[in-house]
Structure 1
Amino acid sequence: MPHEPIWTPTSPNTVIQGDNLNVLRELPDESFQLIYIDPPFNTGKVQKRQSLKTVRSQEGTRVGYKGQTYETIRGKITSYDDSFEDFWEFLEPRLEEAWRLLNSSGTLYLHLDYREVHYAKVLLDALFGRECFLNEIIWAYDYGARSKKRWPTKHDNILVYVKDPKGYYFNNTEVDREPYMAPGLVTPEKVALGKLPTDVWWHTIVSPSGREKTGYPTQKPLGVLRRIIQASSTEGDWVLDFFGGSGTTGDAARQLGRKFLLIDKNKQAFDTMKTRFTRVIDAEEEAQQIQFAKFRKRPVRLIEG
């Protein structure tokens, strides 16, 4: 007997734990306006992040305001293995599914770094067609290692492909604008409005001590995802991220009135997203609730919104 689909276009916002390729193959054709994916960068390392919390304590060794003493409490370590024997054997079938799942006006954003982006360009040219290549976005940031043996790497690459080069949706007038780097050269009205972004985005990483952080390694900032979603979708559209990670894509989509489906095999990622969005469920009306599910050979729902 056919089982109940784990997701349909009438589903609520959904987070699924499971192998993304298996889940993708269950989804109906041309269901998504926007797909953003931030797959592992194939660095050959285990990516880790440990949460830290500072509390006031008489036994603390850190001295702060008015001589108060504090101690730092270390939380659990979150991690994932960012190493594959054959990275492209892993990623190619998932990109094929992404093409199938995009609707005719839809757009794919593939977020990589310098190690794999050039191979990705060749592969996506073959899958989508070279005429469907829209942009390479450079996300530049100001944090990271200070190499003395080469130019320090301070950017990621985001390849942008459309399903139909004659019928895709794009509206950059809707995006959050940037401040002018030389505000004295433009009118006060333009300074107040800000300037439209180009294909080079200057945006800081998620602060390790900021309110936005979830503790998940390689979490991407909301500002970058907001810009992508604003430009390539409209309110009510479905957004898919099948390397869900910390859930930033879903959070940005929710804030902007889009619907989202997030998938990740990593239990730590699923737990991070569950915690992140459970706070939202507690704070929002019933219409904004989120469904959490686990996918094996047959889907089993864990929590229904």
Structure 2
Amino acid sequence: MHADNLEVVAALPDGAFTLIYLDPPFNTGRSQARRTSTSVRSAGGPGSVTGFKGRSYERIKGDLLSYDDRFDDYWEFLEPRLIEAWRVLADDGTLYLHLDYREAHYAKVLLDALFGRESFLNEIIWAYDYGAKSKNRWPTKHDTILVYVKNPSTYYFDSSAVDREPYMAPGLVTAEKAELGKLPTDVWWHTIVSPTGREKTGYPTQKPEGILRRIVQASSREGDWVLDFFAGSGTTGAVAGALGRRFLLVDRNPEAIAVMRSRFAQAPVSFLSL
């Protein structure tokens, strides 16, 4: 079936997924006319959620669009998909939205309105050091991952299941602690996928398994369903499957589908070719 991922996600049942990880394209390439009026959703729906400073979701969206014309096209693409992500999240579920630094601040305010500000859990900074070095500004070497939960009272999170990392100053802790390692904070130092490493699939936006492993370990249990509808190279599924989670991968890019078919050739998987 060839269709937009929005159509597929809209057909999924409510509350079916414990974990949703999304790494959407940073530039949709779409050309759309700017809206001059604001739509109003039915009372009680996601669009009627009161967010930042008690202002409605639609009001915040309108205000932000008035500040930056470039934001309009991107959010017109991403907004309905995040609304569906909210709907299909389980009551104890968590959304991880992986974004470019140029869009993350807009998305955070709007997710505050959609999910409720009390549902914001973390802003994770993934820091890396690879590629060209700018000499006329501080080099940009990080991505932002926004973390929101469906219900702040019941969400699932198990930090003890996460792989530990070395202390940056092991001499300041006991030998036992240094050997055990420390739990990660909201700043994750992790290299990108090595151009010559075993993980490399050739897909241009492939994310490292170490980043997804940490997310899946912390925010899902064995047997839980994990969803990624911008699946790309399929890293979310590869990690989820290895950790005993069930997963659904969706992507409309034929190149992504080809990469995933090759990557999962020897494993039973569920992904939709769109």
Band of TM-score, shorter chain: 0.7 to 0.9
Cα deviation, 1:34-58, whole Å, max 9, x if unaligned, reads 00000012297xxxxxxxxxxxxxx
CA contact (8 A) 1:142 1:204 kept: yes
Report 1:223-262 matches (<5 A).
223-262=210-249
1:36 matches 2:21: yes
C-alpha displacement at 1:150, in angstroms? 1.0
Larger RCO, structure (CA 8 Å, separation 6 or more): 1
User: What is the aligned counterpart of 1:122 among 99, 103, 109?
Assistant: 109
> Tell me, which stretches of 5 or more residues in structure 2 are unaligned?
30-69
Q: How many residues align?
A: 234
C-alpha displacement at 1:97, in angstroms? 0.1
TM-score, with structure 2 as normaliser = 0.82
TM-score, with structure 1 as normaliser = 0.74
Question: 3-state DSSP class of the match of 1:86?
Answer: helix
Question: 3-state DSSP class of the match of 1:227?
Answer: helix
CA contact (8 A) 2:225 2:247 kept: yes
C-alpha displacement at 1:291, in angstroms? 4.0
1:89 matches 2:76: yes
Cα deviation, 1:193-246, whole Å, max 9, x if unaligned, reads 110000000000000111110000011000000000110110000000000000
| CA distance in 2 between partners of 1:27 and 1:190 (Å) | 45
Q: Residues 141 and 174 of structure 1: is their aligned pair in 2 closer, same or farther, counting only changes over 3 Å?
A: same
Report 1:48-127 matches (<5 A).
86-127=73-114
Question: 3-state DSSP class of the match of 1:290?
Answer: coil
User: What is the aligned counterpart of 2:143 among 156, 171, 174?
Assistant: 156
CA contact (8 A) 1:35 1:241 kept: yes
Runs (4+) of structure 1 exceeding 4 A deviation are none
> Tell me, which stretches of 5 or more residues in structure 1 are unaligned?
1-15, 45-82, 282-288, 296-305
| CA distance in 2 between partners of 1:208 and 1:134 (Å) | 33
CA contact (8 A) 1:17 1:266 kept: no
C-alpha displacement at 1:294, in angstroms? 3.8
- More strand per residue: 1
1:24 matches 2:3: no
| CA distance in 2 between partners of 1:90 and 1:189 (Å) | 50
Question: 3-state DSSP class of the match of 2:196?
Answer: coil
What RMSD in Å do the two structures reach over aligned CA positions? Answer: 1.8
- More helix per residue: 2
| CA distance in 2 between partners of 1:18 and 1:215 (Å) | 24
1:198 matches 2:185: yes
Question: 3-state DSSP class of the match of 2:86?
Answer: helix
C-alpha displacement at 1:19, in angstroms? 1.7
Q: Percent identity?
A: 73
